[in-house]
Structure 1
Amino acid sequence: MTIYDALRTGRRTFLTRGLTGAALLGVTASLPLAAVATTPTEGAAGTAPDQDRKAILGMAGTYKVTFDFRETTPFLADYKPIAPKTSGGEEVVRVVEDTGSVIRLQHLLVVDGDDRLPVVIKHWRQDWTYQPASVLTYQGTGHWSLTPVDGAAAKGAWSQTVWQTDDSPRYGGVGRWRHDAGVSRWTSEETWRPLARRDATRHPPYDRYNGINRHALTPAGWVHEQDNAKMGLRDGALVTFVHEAVINTYSRSGDFPVAAADEYWAKTMTYWAAVRGAWDQAIAQHQGVSVTEEANNGSVTGKALMGLADSIAKGGKGIPDAIAEARRVITDATQGSAKSGA
């Protein structure tokens, strides 16, 4: 079952309300949050403020999640906003690396399979880097590049890089944590992003978002808010079709099969560490990467890389063989990066 299948069928955790919507890994990554070692160590980016780190690490845990997407103001006379979409889910967020100045959080969805037994789907990953020298940014359809961050802009700031379900890139941006008025919150600069599945599968007239992200800690957990301009080409010029407000709310809960997510991660974490390394190598080699986008899977690599992990989890594929195959998939999908200028 893919994430798109879960969103489309609405099984268990993606229950609709109204309309259906849509690096190194330590061996402690599969353990409950309290057992994950997070001792900070000073890295190349410097020692990060404790308040910032506490806020980022505070997003790890187990949650019931609500997803609320609403197109608001149209900016073309012939464009009509689509109806609001809301859905819900159950998600485990684990710390898979913490060096002090780099923190990686892996999201894992837990849904019901056809037999009503829990199925785990690896979801998005968010990487946080303190005072980054560069950030991987989306440049348009199928292209990402490592963008230098000016020293003044990097000072005291964090980059957040978001990755697809198969660890292919999605978007990155730089912002600062603030801890005032009773709230810890991080707000990004404006960043381009590829279409999410909820839009890409509809083949809309726009082909990217220009958005601002905000992550804020709440008494119940945390919230991810997005202010998106949905953009695309018309008559050869990039225009804004409509604005969108997104509110994804994470409320603490353990009332779902959390152990299934940890079991999946324990079986596949070595494989996914190697996959991350292969993507990192491709990005470093070309100072960016080009990979074909695919509506249902995020990237053209999605089905193959996710399928290999599922095979490992079910005992059908050995980890070394799966890693070798995954590296071939990534190489084949990105071998045109240098020629494309990514």
Structure 2
Amino acid sequence: MSIKYTTKLGTALFSLALITSPALAHPPIPDRPADVEKTAFEADRADILAMAGNFKVRFDMQESTPWVSDYTPRDRKISGGHEVVKIVEDTGTKIVLQHLLVVDTGDSDFIVKHWRQDWEYEPEKILAYSDRNSWEYQPISEKRRNGRWSQTVYQVDDSPRYAGLGEWETQGGVRRWRSNWTWRPLARRDAVRDPVYDRYYAINRHSPMPNGWIHFQDNTKMGMVDGKLVPIVQEYVLNTYTKFDGYNVQAAEDYWTKTQGYWAEVRKSWETAFASNNGVVVEEEAQTGTVISADILEMGTKIANGEMDAGAAKKTARELIANATKPNAVESAQNAITNSPY
């Protein structure tokens, strides 16, 4: 993204925050009898799988409390749309959900391959945001992962965004999954403004409701001030997914039928990059996310419209991802951070 690199001190503080964060301090879940464990696991799976379907979505974003004296919170922003959420994979302990945004352009409906969420039961590691343009695998101890699910969120081109670990539980009669504290890069809505903050420190919650589900985000927007990483403002985001079929659901179904093979290859190419580098460093920019995102998305649209051969698109996508994440590109990005004058 088009934002300044951290200072060496800032990077050190950022790393220290990762080490000392409450994210790593959740107490272990005690071992449970096998029948109790099985019942809890099946209930968790049911709640995750219930996020699939056809929805009307409402996005409600509100900056609230400023943590520095010279910052004025932005006005509340409410928007919405229609999304089809597809189950891409379900192995029992891993569930992959793909969001497809259906945009009514007036003359036709345009499909945007939106975000993706992967859920994994008792993962040995998660792909966490570690610093500017950088994600790395973080190991999860057996005690810490016991009974918990990770949620890893990917951007529109299947590059990583953030990951968290949490337990599905019932409190006050409400079922919810609550993540640990997680770091994440700026969303496009903020990145395009070149704000004083440059990352989020956040907690995510997901809860089923009678006619859909909600995703609540408690975001602390962080930035560098006088060489120190400090909180700038608090933001609350409530995304509400209400079951709804009154839009062109078939357009999303048709898009996915034509492009799912292509997107499977894109996911595989990213996984190869993650495995090769114990994570990934890839350059981002404000408008599109990664610098290759627009090209990868456009090829999906061309396949759906019959304007491009899927085989050729897969080959190009593999090359784009390999070149954007190859070791010399990774080394260059890391050196840029280390040698930055800012």
Q: Work out whether 1:139 is the aligned partner of 2:130.
A: yes
Q: Is the 8 A contact 2:66 2:233 kept in 1?
A: yes
- Following superposition, the deviation at residue 182 of structure 1 comes to 2.8
SS at match of 1:119: strand
Q: Which residue matches 2:102?
A: 110
SS at match of 1:89: strand
CA apart distance, 1:47: 11
2:338 — aligned with what?
A: none
What's 2:224 paired with? Answer: 233
Which of 129, 148, 162 matches 1:171? 162
Shift of 1:181: 3.4
- 2:43 — aligned with what? 51
Return closer, same or farther for 1:187/1:338 CA change in 2, 3 Å cut-off: same
Could you tell me how far apart the structure 1 residues matched to 2:115 and 2:208 are? 19
**Map of 2:263 onto structure 1:** 272
Secondary structure in 2 matching 1:49: helix
Aligned residue for 1:255, secondary structure, equals: coil
Deviation at 1:301, TM superposition (A): 1.4
Distance 1:140 1:229 in 2: 16
1:62 matched to 2:43 = no
Partner of 2:56, secondary structure, is strand
Structure-1 separation of matches of 2:40 and 2:96: 14
Secondary structure at the residue paired with 1:260? helix
- AA of the residue aligned to 1:105: L
The 8 Å contact of residues 283 and 291 in structure 2, kept in 1 or not, is answered as yes
**Counterpart of 2:216 in structure 1: which amino acid?**
E
- Tell which has more relative contact order, 1 or 2 (C-alpha 8 A, sep 6+): 2
| CA contact 1:177–1:185 (8 Å) conserved in 2 | yes
Q: Which amino acid aligns with 1:285?
A: S
CA distance change for structure 1 residues 131 and 47 in 2, over 3 Å: closer, same or farther?
Answer: farther
C-alpha distance in structure 2 between counterparts of 1:72 and 1:281, whole Å:
40
Query: Which residue of structure 1 lines up, in the alignment, with residue 294 of structure 2?
Result: 303
RMSD over aligned CA atoms reads: 1.6
User: Structure 1 length as normaliser, TM-score?
Assistant: 0.84
Are the counterparts in 2 of residues 232 and 240 from structure 1 also a CA contact under 8 Å?
Answer: yes
C-alpha displacement at 1:298, in angstroms?
1.4
- Inter-partner Cα distance in structure 1 for 2:233 and 2:331: 34
Structure 1 residues 291 and 123: alpha-carbon distance in aligned structure 2, compared to 1, 3 A threshold: same
SS of 1:56's partner is: helix
Q: Take 2:83 and 2:222, find their aligned partners in 1: how far apart are those partners?
A: 30
Deviation readout 1:240-290 (Å, 9 max, x if unpaired): 100000000000000000000000000000000000000000001100000
Question: Which AA in structure 2 matches 1:152?
Answer: K
Aligned partners of 1:134 and 1:47: how far apart in 2?
A: 24
**Preserved CA contact (<8 Å) 2:125 2:138:** yes
Matches within 5 A, 1:188-267: 188-267=179-258
CA distance in structure 2 between the partners assigned to 1:241 and 1:258 by the alignment: 40
Corresponding residue of 2:119: 128
Distance 1:296 1:266 in 2: 28
CA distance in 2, matches of 1:267, 1:310: 10
Separation in 2 of the partners of 1:272 and 1:166?
Answer: 9
Task: Tell me which amino acid in the other structure corresponds to 1:230.
Answer: K
Q: Does the CA contact (< 8 Å) of 1:123 and 1:164 recur in 2?
A: yes
Give, in whole Å, the separation in 2 of the partners of 1:63 and 1:321. Answer: 33
Cα deviation digits, residues 217-240 of structure 1 (max 9, x gap):
001200000000000111111011
Q: Which runs of 5+ in 1 are unaligned?
A: 1-45
Contact 2:83 2:100 in 1 (8 A): yes
Aligned to 2:28: none
What is the SS of the residue equivalent to 1:80?
A: coil
- Is the alpha carbon distance of 1:226 and 1:67 closer, same or farther for their aligned partners in structure 2, counting shifts above 3 Å? same
Percent identical residues: 49
Which structure shows the bigger proportion of residues in helix conformation? 2
* 1:192-216, Cα deviation, whole Å (9 max, x unpaired): 0110011011110101000000000
User: Which of 44, 53, 75 is the aligned partner of 2:67?
Assistant: 75
Aligned to 1:334: 325
**Alpha-carbon distance between aligned partners in 1 of 2:231 and 2:148, rounded to the nearest angstrom:** 29
Query: How far has the Cα of 1:179 moved from its partner?
Result: 3.2
Contact 1:48 1:130 in 2 (8 A): no
Gaps of 5+ in 2: 1-37, 336-342
SS at 2:69's partner residue? coil
Distance 2:49 2:246 in 1: 21
Which whole-Å CA distance do the structure 2 matches of 1:60 and 1:182 have between them? Answer: 23
Aligned mate of 2:316, from 293, 300, 325: 325
- Alignment TM-score, normalising by the size of structure 2: 0.84
**Which structure: larger Rg?**
2
What is the aligned length?
296
Q: Which residue of 2 aligns with 1:153?
A: 144
> Does residue 89 of the first structure (1) align with residue 107 of the second (2)?
no
